[in-house]
Amino acid sequence: MKKRGLFLLLAVVLILLVSCQRVPQGQQPLETAAALKLVQSGTQGVEILTLANYPPALVYDQNELVTIVEVKNKGNHDLTQQDCFVQITGFDPNIIRGGFNIPRSCAENVNILEGKNVYNVEGSSNQLEFRAPTVNLPSGVFEYNPVLNFVTCYNYHTTASPSVCVDPLFYQVTSQQKTCLPHNVGTGGGQGAPVGISYVGVNMVGSKAIFELNVVNYGTGRVLSPYAGIQNCGEASVSYTDLDKVGYKVQLSGGSLIDCKPRDGFVRLVNNQGKIVCQFSIPGASAYETPLLVDLDYSYIQSYQKPVKIIKTPE
């Protein structure tokens, strides 16, 4: 009996130990910090792909053509229904009919296509169905091989806040009296968007801080002005003045803005890079770390191709 009682006691202890191990633990600060780091980094924005067999590789004319596009917001900026559109081009609308080329909102039926956040570090997704009720080949044509071009155009926003050291008495006080020394700051890895700040040069001239910010297009698409029309950009002509143009604002906590160049508030990218130079007046007499707040506004266009073969229906 004693042995049986001891066995039962051990069994109870083991069950309690297993149960304790299965109790979900509260989120630790390190986990939250890691999630926040994932949200604030990365170089992706909106990405699309077509579901398997939608569209099919081979279609008989006289049949319906259905394409399902999955849209993923992999950056950290939320998109409303007017902020993102997908349009299919690259085909003859007299053959593939029924409004197959009409632009569709990325946030259709969901109102807001959320970007990644600390509760969802992958971002959200949505599916769009493009349907051509009939596909008709002209008389005497037995095969048609268009390459469907899925064009995505969207408005996006990048926020960067690299920490910089400013020192109004840089040449007058010894380093032992300072908590930091002004130095250049690398910000590689992106800020959760296809356009970001890769580098901040920091220089002190008396009580004036000069920052050189390198703006980079990390993605595979093309940057457009934030004022460019995006709803029909797959078929509309894009003006040269809208290409590679990024709106910006730069602020420094505790510093007074003297000047930023380019002065019109837009930086134009050349070979996917551009430079902003800002000067701030720094009050006080001690060195300190402070965030440099950078906001970038722009639109973005990219495309994804998929070939389709349309053949004459046997009679």
* pLDDT at res. 286: 85
State the average pLDDT over residues 60-73: 95
**Mean pLDDT within 250-274:** 95
pLDDT of 304 over the 80 cut: yes
Q: What is the mean pLDDT of residues 302-309?
A: 96
Are the folds of 44-156+302-311 and 158-220+236-297 the same? yes
Handedness of CA 255, 260, 264, 265 (dihedral sign): negative
Is 274:296 a contact under the CB 8 Å cutoff?
no
Average pLDDT, stretch 297-312? 96
Whether the pLDDT of residue 1 is over 70: the answer is no
Is residue 3's pLDDT more than 60?
A: no
What is the reported pLDDT for 174?
Answer: 56
- CATH 3.40.605.10 for domain 44-156+302-311, yes or no, is no
CB atoms within 10 A of CB 152: 24
- Is the per-residue pLDDT at 260 higher than 80? yes
The residue assigned the tokens 């909102």 is: 105
Q: What residues does each domain of the chain span?
A: 44-156+302-311, 158-220+236-297
pLDDT at 24 over 50: no
**pLDDT per position as a tens digit, 46-64:** 999 999 999 999 999 989 9
Task: Give the list of residues 6+ apart from residue 10 with CB closer than 8 angstroms, or none.
Answer: none
The band of 20, judged by pLDDT with boundaries at 50, 70 and 90, is: very low
21 confidence band (pLDDT: 50, 70, 90): very low
Looking at the chain, the whole-number percentage of residues with pLDDT higher than 70 is 88
Angstrom distance (rounded) from CA 155 to CA 301 = 9
Query: Is residue 289 scored above 80 in pLDDT?
Result: yes
Are the C-beta atoms of 278 and 213 separated by less than 8 Å?
A: yes
**Does residue 291 have a pLDDT over 70?**
yes
Tell me the C-alpha to C-alpha distance, in Å, between residue 186 and each of 39, 90, 197, 200, 217.
Answer: 18, 41, 9, 6, 16
| pLDDT attached to residue 171 | 66
Over residues 187-210, the pLDDT tens digits come to 988 999 999 999 999 999 989 999
pLDDT band at residue 233 using 50, 70 and 90 as cut-offs? confident
> Is 80 exceeded by the pLDDT of residue 290?
yes
Burial (CB < 10 A; 0-12, 13-18, 19+), residue 171, is: exposed
pLDDT for 315 equals 74
How far is 147 from 170, CA to CA, in rounded Å? Answer: 60
pLDDT, residue 8, reads 53
% residues pLDDT > 90 (the chain): 72
Q: Structurally, what CATH architecture does the domain formed by 158-220+236-297 represent?
A: Sandwich (2.60)
